[in-house]
Amino acid sequence: MIYISGDIPEVHKVLIIGAGPTGLAAALHLERQNGLSSTVYEIRPEPTALGGAVMVPCNGLRLPGSIGLYERLSLKAAQSTKNVLYSSQGEELGKLVLGSWSAEKTGYWPMRVKRTDLQEALCTEAQTEEIPIHYGKRLVSNKDHDKKVTVMFSDGSVDTADLLLGLFRHLDHLFFVPVSVLPPKGGVTNLTGTLTPHKMFALMPCTASGDTLYWVFSYEVPMPASGSSSSRDGWAERSRIEEEGFKPTLLAILNDVPTKWGALLREVVGKTDVVKFYPIYRLRLGGKWSRGRCLLIGDAAHAMSPHVGQGVSMALEDVFLLSRVLELK
């Protein structure tokens, strides 16, 4: 939510820190809807998206629709709508049609799309609009002056604009989610969840052709022994240890799931080449979302658990609301 207090500033140029889904969608929408020119700065050296897939429900999908992304994503995304829940004994507990109520209201069914496909679609649209995206740029500071904001990067370069949309993270440890993209595998056409004595194992298709499955198993781990909760070294070492020992641990957990379904899950895990760990951080409550001409949107303002499948949608909602607020000027 954006609270408007005082005058809405006159904005012609916007600086966006971060070429994630929020940054690229903001650049595109502010250009098309508000006629504002944006420049995007990304810390990573090249366009990348961490592995895995995201589910985008109807509140997020109606927004890409209006920036021309919906059609592009439909060609790539999995659109199966059934959610099947299995017990720890590998027996089907029930089926639920996901998003039927909201689809009836909005016309959009939830989509699951590979992160790389989402990022590629946004980058392609940004290129079409000739939006400049500079990679390898680490923001180090920003300063308001004379109704402008100037940002400074670690390589000594600077840029100035009327509004800064940025990311400033306050990190706390919550838990890890291992994610993997599998080789082609038949038989799983729905979003499935299997209860285990530890946590839920979720398995689902994430492409339009169904040639790729995606699975997630999340659990809490102790804090890294070395460094603080935000220490990269501490987490890097911890991730290495978790990634090495993870497959045997998970296979042992799934060994307790009898039936054909349990055998399929073990096969899926066994055939997964690469398993990744993502530390999920919780933002401290009470943080400030704006200061002067700088505004936080997307995960930087309100990161939420990946399990609710709302991060991308909420980020897109921010972009559209900001655009409407700026239109009021």
Binding residues with ligand FAD: total (CB under 6 A): 32
Stretch that binds ligand FAD, among 2-10, 40-48, 191-199, 256-264 (CB under 6 A): 40-48
**Smallest gap, in angstroms, from Cβ of residue 139 to ligand FAD?**
4
Comparing CB distances to ligand FAD, the nearer of 108 and 278 is 278
Q: What are residue 300's phi and psi, to 5 degrees?
A: -60, -30
Nearer to ligand FAD, 119 or 262 (CB): 119
C-alpha dist (Å) from residue 267 to 202, 231, 250, 260:
14, 35, 12, 11
Residues paired with residue 166 on neighbouring β-strands, in sequence order: 296
- Is residue 192 near ligand FAD by the rule CB under 6 A? no
DSSP 8-state secondary structure symbol assigned to residue 12: S
The answer to the question of residue 299 lying near ligand FAD (CB under 6 A) is yes
* 147 counts as binding ligand FAD under rule CB under 6 A: no
> Which segments of 82-203 does DSSP mark as H helices, in order?
100-106, 115-128
Residues in 119-138 that interact with ligand FAD by CB under 6 A:
137-138
CB-based contact 4:153 (threshold 8 Å): no
What is d(CA 252, CA 256) in angstroms, rounded to the nearest whole number?
7
Candidate segments 36-44, 83-91, 97-105, 120-128, binder of ligand FAD by CB under 6 A: 36-44
Q: Where are the alpha helices (DSSP H) in 10-163?
A: 21-34, 58-66, 70-74, 100-106, 115-128
Determine whether 311 is exposed, middle or buried from the number of CB atoms within 10 Å of its CB (0-12, 13-18, 19+): buried
Of the listed pieces 6-14, 54-62, 64-72, 267-275, which binds ligand FAD according to CB under 6 A?
54-62
Do the Cβ atoms of 223 and 173 come closer than 8 Å?
A: yes
Among 181, 204, 315, 326, binds ligand FAD (CB under 6 A): 315
Binding ligand FAD (rule: CB under 6 A), the pick from 16, 30, 36, 56 is 56
Asked whether position 167 contacts ligand FAD by CB under 6 A, the answer is yes
Report the candidate in 300, 327, 301, 297 with the shortest Cα–Cα distance to residue 26: 297
Kindly indicate which of the ranges 19-27, 142-150, 155-163, 185-193 contains the residues binding ligand FAD, using the contact rule CB under 6 A: 19-27
Q: What angle do CA 12, 14, 15 make, to 5 degrees?
A: 155
Please select the residue that binds ligand FAD; options are 18, 90, 99, 224, rule is CB under 6 A: 18
Which residues bind to ligand FAD, rule: CB under 6 A? 17-23, 41-44, 52, 54-56, 137-139, 167, 177, 179, 278, 280, 298-299, 306, 309-313, 315
